[in-house]
Amino acid sequence: MGLFDKIGKKKPEEEKQEEIVAAKTPEELKKERASSFVMGVEYIMQKEDAKEIVVIGKLDGRAVVGNTVTVSNPGRLSNEKSEVQITAIRTTDGDVREVSGGSAELHLSMQEERNFRIGDVLYTADVPAESTMHAYAKALTETYVIKRQLELSDQELEQLSVSDLQEMLRFHAFLQDRSQSEQGPESAIPPERVKRLEKSLANRILEEDYIYCVFSKKTGEPYLYSRTTSDTNGGYHCSAPTIRIFTEEYKSRMQGIYEGGRFEVKRIENGSKGKGIYNFFGIAFYLDGAEGVEVISDDTILEASLLVEKPDERTITENGIPVSNPDLMKWLLMLGQMDKADLETDDGKIIYTLYYKFMAAQATKAKFLVPIHAQGKMPEANEEGVLQVEDGTRFDIPCVPGKNGRKAIFIFTDWRHLYGTINEKCEAVVETIDSLINSFDCIINSGDYSKGGGYISLSTYNEMDEIASSMGH
């Protein structure tokens, strides 16, 4: 029984009458050819015949019985398209020959069986891709967010794609923002349902064969997105930096946005062991300082811990020495990814100054890896990462000519950056810049992408130290 079926099944004589009047007049054929519509599927009713189905949704345009239309799902990687024919239309007025706009129940006949889903879209050939995407998103959000209030079974969650989950979370965030801006009531959706959906999205991303991430051409690392805002007291605040990813479904649109300029898009493979994406996030979060992931846009942000739990710092180790500096790296990278044009605007100058201050506060207290070549075998570090070195042991520290007649040495924020620059296997000791700067200038993370690090001279360090002291560090 259909949603609009208040009477029940048709009488046999009614079905025979429909068969008799099946032939269409020239005027009816003209109107059918002129029909154009798009409709997102919000409700599905299976029929006994596997090649017949009933779908309900909000229709934009005009549909006519007898139309052959396309059905697809923009939120699916395969986005398989099928041809279906409209065999009947029902509205609140009962059975109709055609319908223009509003809710409608369409009875469909398929040439081949199709597993219909909420969010599938029916459309005529003239409908642009933007309209089918809008209908897809509207059907998902109307069904799962507005009507169902994100109350879904485990089975339903399993069937949703990355795009499905992102659209639902995006729309929920929109409702929350609108509620706050209009000072209206908060969303009635329990927070635990939102968290469950976020966790499901995180799991689905980690299960993808591959994803795409927006990188900075200047730093060679994922581009860090942060928003700087001012308060009523004249102060400024930077939001937690995030990286941005998207799936294959959005590739063509995103490449159009990120082609050229400061960005480049890189594909992140999950690999045969299914850990590639997980490891990529681990590096971005706990070595480079990103604190979350923007999925497709900044409307949907997942916290880092939903994708990769924060590791015990003692596990970020090489030769028993744990070293990582995510709180420094994020400011180095955000400084490095800025363009010259950014510094020519008032806002850009303010942002650069903020980033520099935060970087200085972290750099003056950070512990770095200094590559060395030891004469003889290096002892193993103890549980605290401390090396007991015998008197008379000789170390060679690689150095290069620096600025103003001084020598400069290479220092690294973590083992990944060290081995990314120095190909040969080497030892390292842990030092602060303060312990080195009187003898050497320091080059942080020297490598193929110099903008991912920095050059610290004695005068620069003294300036940074003053900034750190003024900030209470």
Give the C-alpha separation, 308 to 312, whole Å: 12
Is 465 contained in some domain?
yes
- Select from 287, 311, 335 the last residue of a domain: 311
**Pair (329, 413) in one structural domain:** yes
Give pLDDT, residue 19.
43
Residue 74 belongs to a domain with what CATH number?
Answer: 2.40.30.10
The amino acid at residue 110 is M
What are the C-alpha distances in Å from 428 to residues 53, 364, 368, 453? 67, 19, 9, 18
From the number of C-beta atoms within 10 Å of its C-beta (0-12, 13-18, 19+), residue 372 rates as middle
**Pair (203, 122) in one structural domain:** no
Give pLDDT, residue 5.
47
**Pair (257, 333) in one structural domain:** no
Give pLDDT, residue 399.
87
* pLDDT digit string, tens, across residues 81-95: 999 999 999 999 999
- The answer for 22, left when phi > 0, alpha when psi is -120 to 50, beta otherwise, is alpha
Is 155 contained in some domain?
no
- Select from 92, 123, 146 the last residue of a domain: 146
Overall domain count for the chain: 3
**Pair (286, 351) in one structural domain:** no
Give pLDDT, residue 111.
86
Is 181 contained in some domain?
no
Give pLDDT, residue 372.
87
Order of strands across the sheet that contains 263-269: 263-269, 210-216, 243-246, 292-295, 301-303
Is 25 contained in some domain?
yes
Give the C-alpha separation, 466 to 315, whole Å: 33
Is 216 contained in some domain?
yes
Give the C-alpha separation, 279 to 270, whole Å: 9
The continuous run of DSSP H or E covering 280 comes out as: helix 276-286
Is 156 contained in some domain?
no
**Pair (210, 117) in one structural domain:** no
Range of the domain at 99: 12-146
**Pair (465, 402) in one structural domain:** yes
The overall average pLDDT reported for the chain is 86
**Pair (291, 384) in one structural domain:** no
- 114: how many CB neighbours lie within 10 A of its CB? 19
- Select from 95, 128, 146 the last residue of a domain: 146
* Side-chain-facing half-sphere of 351: CA atoms under 13 Å: 22
**Pair (337, 400) in one structural domain:** yes
Lowest average pLDDT, out of 85-94, 404-413, 441-450, goes to 441-450
Percent of the chain with pLDDT strictly greater than 70: 84
Is 183 contained in some domain?
no
**Pair (111, 194) in one structural domain:** no
For residues 150 and 193, is the Cβ–Cβ distance under 8 A?
Answer: yes
**Pair (238, 328) in one structural domain:** no
- Helix, strand, or coil (residue 222): strand
Give pLDDT, residue 213.
96
Of the ranges 2-16, 250-264, 389-403, the best mean pLDDT one:
250-264
**Pair (464, 329) in one structural domain:** yes
Enter the DSSP assignment of 350.
Answer: H
* pLDDT digit string, tens, across residues 60-116: 999 999 999 999 999 987 778 999 999 999 999 999 999 999 999 999 999 888 899
Is 126 contained in some domain?
yes
**Pair (118, 254) in one structural domain:** no
Mean pLDDT of 450-466: 91
